[in-house]
Structure 1
Amino acid sequence: MFFAIGFALGINSYIIPLLNTALDISSGESYLVIAATFSAFLIFGYPASLVIGKIGYKRTMALSFLMFALGFYLFIPSAQMESLPLFLVASFISGMGNTFLQASVNPYITILGPMESAAKRMSYMGIANKLAWPIAPLFLALIIGKDVENVSLTDINIPFYIIIGVFVLLGVLALLAKLPEVKAVGEDEDSDDVCLYAESKTSIWQFPHLLLGVLALFLYVGVETVSLGTLVDYATSLGLANAEYYAWIAPIGMVLGYICGAALIPKYLGQATALRICAVTALFGSLMVVFSPEEYSIYFIAFMALGCSLMWPALWPLAMTDLGKFTKTGSSLMVIAIVGGALIPTVYGFMKDVIGAQDAYWICVPCFLYILYYGLKGHKIRTK
């Protein structure tokens, strides 16, 4: 399921430069595809938690794959009509599927075992997720058989029919899978387990460590999407041959980070410490992308991605600790924060039009600085 999330998002890294060329639109306009995908998190993040409460995690996962399939189907008439608005609708519906899948699988993995080892479990999931990002554009390039600058919009029809079939099959498999329903400590009112910190709370807005974590996740998803989703476009801007091959740079960095997380957390490395180390690494990477010579700068995106690797696994358990009966609501806020993937890459696209692709990566620096603050102090804020 995490592989499916990464694959669905990785499609955007191929579609963006394709639309840029085929429809003769600006970079900012082409990055609206990512904005459409991630805007669904803002609208459906909370409704997704309500659906999970009604039908459970497993059925919600199965439902999300049907949403994915519908969104991918709409890419086909979008290409035939050469319609950017219809492409945005298709991306939005695909984003709905992503929203419901993220809303179910992330809290599921987080509360499936001890909270202190949640980042370890999420690291395993992250390996599958991030390997899927570059596989998506490579799959499209392999089936189409052309360089991205020579592809016409209707060339995407056959690969998208294949993708639709696979996602429908995944939905059926999710429904048949033997996945037990799980609940966090204090979430089940009929249980004897009680979360003392959450018992005295009357509102989700009384958890400052969660709210600061939501902002951290918002910024993190934005800069991670920049590091993963701009590689093919950046390589094209630099005039590098076989631009789609550069899509591997960020996922390799992220997978290395996930392997370290799986090996070191929680025995040798705490989740907050991992977040701090990653924030410093990502800051170094983003500054080097901006200041390095153009021909080398693209490779430093690997350091940005390496830094991003353990941010997702660490932010979820740090922000969702001690939520008790508010666990599902807190999870919905975290899912809504994924809308950062809509705003920040779109701003990057318009900055690229104005100041150039390389300098546009400056947008990542303040985001990583805030995440460093959350790792140092923000996650500790509690009321005794």
Structure 2
Amino acid sequence: MAGPIDLRGSAKMAESTTESAQTSAGGTRYGPALALLASLFFMWGFITVINNTLLPHLRSVFDLNYTQTTLIESVWFIAYFVASIPSAMLIRRIGYKPSLVVGLCVMAAGSLGMVPAAQIPSYGVTLVALFVIACGITLLQVAANPYVAVVGPPESAESRLTLVQAFNSMGTFFAPYFGGYLILSRTTGGTSLEGTQLTAAEKLADAQATQLPYMLVAGVLLVIALIIWRSNLPALGAATKRAGVEARKGMSLWAHKNLVYAVPAIFIYLIAEIGVANLFINFVIQPDIAGITPAQAANYLVLLWGGMMVGRFAGSYLMRRFDARRVLACFALFALLVMIGAATLHGPVAMWCLILVGLGHSIMFPTIFALGIKGLGPLTEEASGLLIMAIAGGALVVVQGWLADGYGLQTSFWLTVACEVYIIWYALVGARPTGPQYD
């Protein structure tokens, strides 16, 4: 089991590792703000990955097929599509700091909604509660990602955002321990081999096991909301504010191909990441792969997310010395190769290929995001909204669920292989900046 979430510790680590981005040209110190935001990245990564242990749990409680199981995650990512534009409007109306507080409170409300969902238990109420949590995370994403990307020198934006995203991966690293111990290891379904039939009483007891974890998460979210409310976050510079109507006449988002191609890149990447993470436990418990229980598989899921954390710290370092597009291409090529292994091999080797893809996926989101808004200046806010909306690509994980039901779970990973091909193309060709550069 992981220990208590040490927000002060992660904030101190974030502050110590963002020294190079602590001041702007005008002398404003941004280190404390980045450290505080790193705690947000940690928490939304943590709560998102709890879903990876929740999905196999719900599959046994509600007797779901793979399509119904992945539909849960699709609902989660549909929230990004629905809530992105309203989130951007809210930020313009009330500002960044109040919006972060609202986002955290919305996440806490959704987490508390999981309590009655487990008590009933109800598949429908579970979907609604997870949708609410995802809406809160969307608001945090719309606010925090562009903030981190533009508060420092433009030439280090990719490295800076990748570094802070590493704390997101730190949250994803600890979440499987948390979910594995408090959900899977405390349930009959979580400690039984694939194919075990549960009684009605066992299903009810298993469903109610999710109450305590989500109550703890809600409490932590409300504490962070209070800390954010009492903090001093510097405003973004005037150069990144939404352009006025007259100024917009000479500007066009569509002239920036690095953005135009980044939107589908984010969309496609999310299909790959979410498909691998959500089906990981279901894959490795197969008799011809590892043949272990879901609770045991959760411990290996930790290694997948740990690879993403290590990869982001390493990627941040590499991008200070090498071109970000080349680093992205190398990571994507590695992901392509290990996914081919996961789709074709058997036994523990296939499991380890799926674990290693976390290393390849690690830098993709923050690097694509930073490359997508590079050079957009006053168009950054609109561009960020489009990129966050593209996270809705994770909703298409239901397509992989459909492939798994129709052609086999392992065969469905060829969809992930196809996603990696586009990311390689974006890194080598699509990410080249075009149009007027405003930075």
Q: 374-383 vs 166-175, which deviates more?
A: 374-383
Contact (CA 8 Å) 1:48, 1:103: kept in 2 or not?
yes
Q: Which has the higher contact order (CA 8 A, sep 6+)?
A: 1
**Corresponding position of 2:370:** 317
Question: Which stretch of the first structure deviates more once superposed, 31-40 or 345-354?
Answer: 345-354
Establish whether residue 354 from structure 1 lines up as the match of residue 406 from structure 2. Answer: yes
Match of 1:295 in 2: 348
Give the aligned partner of residue 200 of structure 1.
Answer: 250
- Contact 2:79/2:131, CA 8 A, preserved across alignment: yes
Name 2:432's counterpart in structure 1.
380
Q: Distance in 2 between matches of 1:141 and 1:301?
A: 19
Contact kept? 1:284, 1:303, Cα under 8 Å: no
Query: Structure 1: any 5+ residue segments left out of the alignment?
Result: none
Q: 2: CA distance between counterparts of 1:283 and 1:134?
A: 22
CA contact (8 A) 1:27 1:352 kept: yes
- Aligned twin of 1:182: 236
| Paired AA for residue 219 in structure 2 | G
* In structure 1, C-alpha distance between the alignment counterparts of 2:130 and 2:393, rounded to whole Å: 16
Match of 2:26 in 1: none
Q: Deviations over 1:294-344 (max 9, x none)?
A: 33211112332211111122111211012222211111000100001111x
Residue equivalent to 2:322: 269
Summarize the alignment of residues 93-242 of structure 1 with structure 2, pairs less than 5 Å apart.
Answer: 93-144=132-183, 145-146=185-186, 149-150=190-191, 152-183=206-237, 185=239, 187=241, 200-201=250-251, 203-238=252-287, 239-241=291-293, 242=296
AA at the equivalent of 2:405: D
Q: Partners of 1:132 and 1:208 in 2: how far apart?
A: 33
Amino acid at match of 1:81: I
Cα distance in 1 for partners of 2:355, 2:53 equals 19
Residue 184 to residue 259, structure 1, CA distance change in 2 (3 Å): farther
**Could you tell me which residue of structure 2 aligns to residue 307 of structure 1?**
360
- Aligned residue runs from structure 1 range 57-76, under 5 A: 57-76=96-115
How far the C-alpha of 1:79 sits from its partner, in A, is 1.4
Distance 2:286 2:100 in 1: 38
The reply to whether residue 328 of structure 1 matches residue 370 of structure 2 is no
* TM-score normalized by the length of structure 2: 0.81
Q: Deviations over 1:166-199 (max 9, x none)?
A: 1111111111222111137353769xxxx9xx88
Distance 1:4 1:252, change over 3 A: same
Deviations 1:188-223 (A, max 9, x none): 769xxxx9xx8831x433433212101101111221
The answer to whether the Cα contact below 8 Å between 2:47 and 2:217 also exists between their aligned partners in 1 is: no
**TM-score, with normalisation over the residues of structure 1?**
0.92
Equivalenced residues, count: 375
Confirm or deny that 1:6 pairs with 2:45. yes
Q: Which amino acid aligns with 2:107?
A: F
Residue identity matched to 2:69 = S
Gap change, CA 1:349 and 1:142, over 3 Å in 2: same
1:226 Cα deviation from its structure 2 partner: 2.1
| CA RMSD in angstroms, aligned pairs only | 2.0
**Which position in structure 1 is the counterpart of 2:299?**
245
1:281 equivalent to 2:368? Answer no
Percent pairwise identity = 27
Give 1:381 deviation, angstroms.
Answer: 5.4
Contact 2:158 2:324 in 1 (8 A): yes
CA 1:40–1:183: 2 relative to 1, 3 Å: farther
3-state secondary structure, aligned to 1:140? helix
Q: Given residue 357 of structure 1, which amino acid in structure 2 is its aligned partner?
A: L
Q: In the aligned structure 1, how far is the partner of 2:207 from the partner of 2:313? A: 37
**Contact kept in structure 2, 1:184 and 1:324, CA below 8 Å:** no
Once residues 94 and 130 of structure 2 are traced to their aligned partners in structure 1, the CA distance between those partners, rounded to angstroms, is: 25
Structure 2's unaligned 5+ residue stretches are 1-39, 192-204
